[in-house]
């Protein structure tokens, strides 16, 4: 019985031969790539247009906030600016976090853009909780009730605003009675 040897591959031409040092080739390629990147020779990709509009960012922020992802919600609300409701949402977010000075700033920004009854009410509530600016809080709470009525808000929403107003009136009455 005759033994047959496995067929040999034909030798590669010199220009097709595999490199004898594939690790060296890889290292040189990486070094060259890094050098070019460091020198800024490679093109940079810049996203010019955000695929989401302000309202979509706002709605995404609401979803994140609902899920308890407050940092992601904040990022989306910031991308939704200058929507007045984005400033209101940021104010609410910072109020939740206990950062009342930031909350106050965002409520004021919202009110500069639009007379949002929610922003007026929430700022009035903030002032009430901190027991400061109570006369201004009273004006804000009354504005929230009046603007809410003008906008045709539901009785439930108006009830909340009226509750804030009543609490502030009570605090002012107590302040007047105090020696």
Asked whether residue 64 is assigned to any structural domain, the reply reads yes
Q: Check whether residue 130 and residue 173 sit in a common domain.
A: yes
CA geometry: angle 161, 124, 140, nearest 5 deg: 75
Average pLDDT over residues 139-157: 95
Residues 168, 170: Cα–Cα separation, whole Å: 5
Asked whether residue 82 is assigned to any structural domain, the reply reads yes
Asked whether residue 32 is assigned to any structural domain, the reply reads no
Q: Check whether residue 61 and residue 110 sit in a common domain.
A: yes
Number of domains in the chain: 2
Average pLDDT over residues 9-37: 58
Q: Among residues 103, 86, 85, which one has the least CA distance to residue 94?
A: 103
- DSSP-assigned states of every residue in 114-155: ---HHHHHHHHHHHHHHT--HHHHHHHHHHHHHHHHHTT--H
Asked whether residue 95 is assigned to any structural domain, the reply reads yes
Asked whether residue 25 is assigned to any structural domain, the reply reads no
Q: Check whether residue 96 and residue 138 sit in a common domain.
A: no
Residue for token digits 């009543």?
166
Q: Check whether residue 94 and residue 142 sit in a common domain.
A: no
Q: Check whether residue 135 and residue 83 sit in a common domain.
A: no
Question: What pTM, to 2 d.p., does this model score?
Answer: 0.70
User: Residue 111, CB half-sphere, CA atoms under 13 Å: how many?
Assistant: 20
Kindly report the CATH number assigned to the domain that includes residue 89: 1.25.40.10
Contact (Cβ atoms closer than 8 angstroms) between residue 71 and residue 52: no
Domain range for 168 is 117-179
Asked whether residue 27 is assigned to any structural domain, the reply reads no
Tell me the pLDDT of the chain averaged across its residues.
85
Q: Check whether residue 105 and residue 122 sit in a common domain.
A: no
Average pLDDT over residues 4-31: 55
Asked whether residue 13 is assigned to any structural domain, the reply reads no
Average pLDDT over residues 149-155: 94
Contact (Cβ atoms closer than 8 angstroms) between residue 124 and residue 101: no
How far are the Cα atoms of 131, 148, 152, 159 from residue 156, in angstroms, in the given order?
26, 11, 11, 5
pLDDT at 78: 96
């Amino acid at each position: 019985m005759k033994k047959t040897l496995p067929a040999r591959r034909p030798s590669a031409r010199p220009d097709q031969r595999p490199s004898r040092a594939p690790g060296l080739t890889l290292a040189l390629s990486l070094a060259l790539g890094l050098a070019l990147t460091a020198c800024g020779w490679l093109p940079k990709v810049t996203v010019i247009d955000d695929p989401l509009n302000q309202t979509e960012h706002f709605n995404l922020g609401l979803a994140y906030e609902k899920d308890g992802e407050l940092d992601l919600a904040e990022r989306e609300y910031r991308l939704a600016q200058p929507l007045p409701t984005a400033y209101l949402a940021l104010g609410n977010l910072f109020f939740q976090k206990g950062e009342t000075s930031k909350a106050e700033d965002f409520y004021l920004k919202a009110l500069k853009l639009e007379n949002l009854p929610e922003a007026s009410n929430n700022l009035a509530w903030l002032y009430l909780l901190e027991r400061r600016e109570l006369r201004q809080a009273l004006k804000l709470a009354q504005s929230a009730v009046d603007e809410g009525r003008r906008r045709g808000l539901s009785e439930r929403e108006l009830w909340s605003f009226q509750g804030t107003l009543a609490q502030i009136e009570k605090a002012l009455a107590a302040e007047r009675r105090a020696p």
